[in-house]
Amino acid sequence: MFNNIIQSKYYPIIGSSLIILFYIHYSLPLLVLAYFIIAYFVHNYQRGPIRTYNSVNLEGKIVIITGASAGIGKETAKRLAWQNATIIFACRDESKTMKVINEIKQVTGNSKLHYMNLQLDDYDNVSEFVKNFKSKFGVLDILINNAGIAQWWHKYNKNNHELVFATNYLGHFLLTRLLMDSLTKESRIIIVSSVMHELIRSKLNFNDVLNGKYLENYNNTKYCGVLLCLKLSQMLKNTKVVALHPGVIKTELLDKAGNTILLQLIQKIMFWFFRPMTLSVEEGAETTIYCTLMPYRELLSGGYYEKNRLSKYSKSIEKLNQVEELWEFSNQILKQYL
Ligand SMILES: NC(=O)c1ccc[n+]([C@@H]2O[C@H](COP(=O)([O-])OP(=O)(O)OC[C@H]3O[C@@H](n4cnc5c(N)ncnc54)[C@H](OP(=O)(O)O)[C@@H]3O)[C@@H](O)[C@H]2O)c1
Ligand SMILES: *[C@@H]1O[C@H](CO)[C@@H](O)[C@H](O)[C@H]1NC(C)=O
Ligand SMILES: *[C@@H]1O[C@H](CO)[C@@H](O)[C@H](O)[C@H]1NC(C)=O
Ligand SMILES: *[C@@H]1O[C@H](CO)[C@@H](O)[C@H](O)[C@H]1NC(C)=O
């Protein structure tokens, strides 16, 4: 029974209800104790087994990480820098990213860290990035599609595409398509998705997603990331493609969601309250690092990783069968850039 509770996706709700019940019936110390016991289990469950791969040498390997200027992207970059990789920080804010690069250079001693401007919601900019990358590096060993945003209210890019969809999905789709011919043998594509993809119940109308007609688009972009992973894993024979859920982590993601002061306050209180259950940024980067460093033959192409281990997609993915539909839709929408 207890195991079921801590494995439930609704643990924050269950946890807080339990606490309220305790509060009504018992005293404060018991309440605090119960909270920390639950938090301990939830935290450990979210984190999963600890893997190290300390001795993997990525010397000479070329890695692109989108959104390496903050959050789990930054932590991933730091760890891969320790493993001697050549890392391209594909980011939109030069001065913020240069600070991160200099910090990582200093602690790891790795001097092969490069900033290259990439604004994912601007498709011309994505094409420009790929051109620059190809002329400077030529080949690509590992692509980590990590950047992402969440927004409380819809905004649009210059093509009038809903901004979260443009950034999290379409920009990455274009980036990946344009880089496909640079991939080396035994290369990897790692797509940072989210457990939120599991909210899917019925077929998505991709035009509505593009135009911002769904109340929530973040979950939709994460679902699309999973579909892209499945499509690429079927198409690419010398590349392994995986999607993953990094856990629930306090990063800049929600701070940047463009919300009101009241919402920000609620967010702060919520994160503070749940902090013992959420992962640290370092822990949040572990599943991405694990998929990057694990031996190539062990990585399952088309697989979904979570809590540092192989996991399963939502059952609806197979049933709804939208892999081809999304692939064609994306190619159609971005055909002028391909
Ligand atoms: N945090 C969680 O609990 C959680 C849970 C599940 C999945 N994820 C996923 O994890 C990934 C990383 O998120 P995070 O939590 O580490 O968030 P974060 O701290 O906000 O980092 C996001 C990164 O994406 C970059 N980015 C945003 N918009 C961009 C654009 N238009 N062009 C280029 N780069 C852009 C940001 O750049 P700036 O520094 O310039 O803003 C930043 O480097 C996302 O895909 C997110 O959906 C997070
Ligand atoms: C990185 O390179 C240095 C210098 O060549 C080497 O001493 C070190 O062992 C390498 N790190 C890893 C993780 O292989
Ligand atoms: C890409 O965006 C950056 C600013 O984020 C800008 O300096 C650069 O000129 C843009 N490139 C293209 C081709 O739009
Ligand atoms: C995302 O949430 C919206 C509700 O806001 C729902 O209509 C949609 O089906 C969800 N999509 C996914 C992929 O879970």
Compute φ and ψ for 30, nearest 5 degrees: -60, -40
Smallest-distance ligand from the CA of 79: 2
Smallest-distance ligand from the CA of 147: 1
Extents of the domains making up the chain: 2-47, 62-337
Which one of 98, 128, 157, 174 would you pick to mutate in the ligand 3 pocket, going by the greatest count of ligand atoms within 8 A of its CB? 128
CA 280, 285, 287, 293 torsion-angle sign: negative
Q: For position 286, what pLDDT does the model report?
A: 97
Strand arrangement of the beta sheet that strand 304-306 belongs to:
113-117, 86-91, 62-66, 140-145, 183-192, 239-245, 304-306, 309-311
Q: For position 328, what pLDDT does the model report?
A: 98
Verdict on whether the full-model pTM lies above 0.85 = yes
DSSP, collapsed to helix, strand or coil, labels residue 68 as coil
Q: For position 201, what pLDDT does the model report?
A: 87
**DSSP class of residue 162?**
B
Better-scored residue on pLDDT, 72 or 13: 72
Residue 220 Cα to ligand 4 middle (Å): 6
Query: Is 216 touching ligand 4 by the criterion CB < 6 Å?
Result: yes
Closest of 316, 283, 179, 199 to residue 241, by C-alpha: 179
Enumerate residues lining ligand 2, CB below 6 A: 55, 57, 59, 83-84
Q: How confident is the model at residue 8 (pLDDT cuts 50, 70, 90)?
A: low
Residue 71 Cα to ligand 2 middle (Å): 26
Closest of 20, 79, 68, 91 to residue 292, by C-alpha: 79
Smallest-distance ligand from the CA of 337: 3
- Looking at this protein, which amino acid is placed at residue 71? G
Q: What is the pLDDT of residues 95-140, one digit of tens each?
A: 999 999 999 999 999 999 999 999 999 999 999 999 999 999 999 9
Q: How confident is the model at residue 141 (pLDDT cuts 50, 70, 90)?
A: very high
Query: Is 211 touching ligand 3 by the criterion CB < 6 Å?
Result: no
Residue 125 Cα to ligand 3 middle (Å): 6
The mean predicted confidence, pLDDT, of the chain is 93
Q: For position 3, what pLDDT does the model report?
A: 52
Closest of 137, 78, 90, 100 to residue 292, by C-alpha: 78
- Does pLDDT of 48 surpass 70? yes
Instruction: Give the whole-angstrom CA distance, residue 338 versus residue 326.
Output: 16
Per-residue tokens: 327:
């692939």
Smallest-distance ligand from the CA of 83: 2
Strands (E), 112-230: 113-117, 140-145, 183-192
Instruction: Give the whole-angstrom CA distance, residue 77 versus residue 89.
Output: 8
Instruction: Give the whole-angstrom CA distance, residue 251 versus residue 283.
Output: 12
| Radius of gyration from C-alpha coordinates of the chain | 20
109: left (phi over 0), alpha (psi -120 to 50) or beta: left
Instruction: Give the whole-angstrom CA distance, residue 303 versus residue 276.
Output: 29
Q: For position 261, what pLDDT does the model report?
A: 85
CB 117 within 8 A of CB 94: yes
Q: How confident is the model at residue 152 (pLDDT cuts 50, 70, 90)?
A: confident
Better-scored residue on pLDDT, 14 or 263: 263
Better-scored residue on pLDDT, 184 or 30: 184
**DSSP class of residue 280?**
P
In SS3 terms, 213-255 reads as CCCCCHHHHHHHHHHHHHHHHHHCCCEEEEEEECCCECCCCCC
Q: For position 1, what pLDDT does the model report?
A: 44
Q: For position 4, what pLDDT does the model report?
A: 53
Q: What is the pLDDT of residues 172-198, one digit of tens each?
A: 999 999 999 999 999 999 999 999 999
Q: What is the pLDDT of residues 203-220, one digit of tens each?
A: 999 999 999 999 999 999
**DSSP class of residue 69?**
T
Which one of 55, 56, 84 would you pick to mutate in the ligand 2 pocket, going by the greatest count of ligand atoms within 8 A of its CB? 84
Fold of 62-337: Rossmann fold (3.40.50)
Q: For position 19, what pLDDT does the model report?
A: 74
Atom of ligand 4 nearest to the CA of 198: 14
Better-scored residue on pLDDT, 34 or 23: 34
Counting residues of the chain whose pLDDT is more than 90, the rounded percentage is 77
Counting residues of the chain whose pLDDT is more than 70, the rounded percentage is 96
Atom of ligand 2 nearest to the CA of 57: 14
Q: For position 28, what pLDDT does the model report?
A: 77
Closest of 308, 251, 236 to residue 47, by C-alpha: 308
Q: For position 264, what pLDDT does the model report?
A: 85
